[in-house]
Structure 1
């Protein structure tokens, strides 16, 4: 048993199902109250996906250990959390944009990517720098969900947008990433946004609907003058 595995864990509470095949974990203090998601596999011969790390506690670990197979996708440095502890317990590979792989010394089975990659048909990653150098988004074409990490944050019920903070890497690249994202997405996709930020502004909701229309309506010229919050 490693030193990490020997550390005690809190009881915690398990994730809640928000849609068929989709689960939301409780906010994680280790990632500044960020949100993590579990996407069930689309077929029996495929793996489920843990998007960003939830709190490392007994309830979350028990839920994930019940899954037949899985992989971890990190959408940016804010979602790393206690990645090494999860990986030691689960043995799953980790997909991370190559510019942030160095932040995970000692982690095993790191799979880096550059511009974009496809994990399996209909499940694609795109590099979207801005919030951090290695920010990425994950599109699940079925059921039409964009896991956008901190690229888009909830602003109000049914609303989300880029939220510049003093920790943001590069605002200009962030806006260019949003423009590139719109061109990269298939027509009509996505139907929903699943943010990796805190979801309090959604007032109890988990997902942001009408996601494609929301993305298309972003005024990037106006956003260019936004000041850090």
Structure 2
């Protein structure tokens, strides 16, 4: 038994299902109060995706170990949490943008990408620096009964029910790159996608809701010029 396995594991509580094939984990202090997600493969076969790390507890571990196959996608350093313990327990590959791969020395099956990556058909990653140097988003395209989803990490944070925006904190990396990432995101996204936004930040501002609707319209309506002007003042 390794030193990590020997550490006590709290009981915790299981994630809740919020859409077909989509679960939300409880906020994790290990990720500064952020949100982690589990996305089942739309076909019912293949590997699911754990987007960022939830709290390492018995309930979350049992939920993930019950899945036949999976992989982990990190949307930024704030979502790393107890990655090493999850990876050791699950044995899943970990996808991370290359700017933050150095933060995970010794992690097995570490797969890093530069500007873009495609995990499989309908699952695409885009590097979006700004919240942190290696921030990234994951787009799950519309498929069968599942609407399109954008897992945006900390690129957009809930600020009110049904609304999200770029929200700097004392740990934020670079505001100018953040705004350029949002501009690039608009070009990269397919027309009329995504339907829903799944943030990796805390979701308290959504008042009990888990997702932000009309996500493409929200992204298109962000006033980047005004945000840039605020920084210059």
Map 1:67-82 onto structure 2 (within 5 A): 67-82=67-82
Deviation at 1:41, TM superposition (A): 1.1
Match of 2:149 among 142, 145, 148: 145
Contact 1:164–1:226 (8 Å) recurs in 2: no
| Aligned equivalent of 2:22 | 22
The answer to whether structure 1 residue 193 and structure 2 residue 197 are counterparts is yes
| Aligned equivalent of 1:93 | 93
Contact 1:47–1:71 (8 Å) recurs in 2: yes
Deviation at 1:106, TM superposition (A): 1.2
Match of 1:206 among 198, 207, 210: 210
The C-alpha deviation readout for 1:24-65, integer Å capped at 9, x for no partner, is: 000000111000000001224420000000000000000000
| 3-state secondary structure, aligned to 2:78 | helix
The answer to whether structure 1 residue 37 and structure 2 residue 41 are counterparts is no
| Aligned equivalent of 1:122 | 122
Paired with 2:31 and 2:163, the residues of 1 have a C-alpha distance of 22
Unmatched 5+ residue regions in structure 2? none
Aligned length: 227
| Aligned equivalent of 2:62 | 62
The answer to whether structure 1 residue 2 and structure 2 residue 23 are counterparts is no
| Aligned equivalent of 2:168 | 164
Paired with 1:37 and 1:224, the residues of 2 have a C-alpha distance of 31
| Aligned equivalent of 2:48 | 48
Paired with 1:166 and 1:95, the residues of 2 have a C-alpha distance of 26
**Which consecutive aligned stretches of 4+ in structure 1 deviate over 4 angstroms post-superposition?**
none
| 3-state secondary structure, aligned to 1:174 | helix
Deviation at 1:162, TM superposition (A): 0.2
- What RMSD, in angstroms, separates the aligned Cα atoms of the two structures? 0.8
- TM-score (structure 1 length as normaliser): 0.98
The C-alpha deviation readout for 1:159-211, integer Å capped at 9, x for no partner, is: 00100122111000000000000000000000000000000000000000000
The C-alpha deviation readout for 1:80-130, integer Å capped at 9, x for no partner, is: 000000000000000000010000111110000000010000100000000
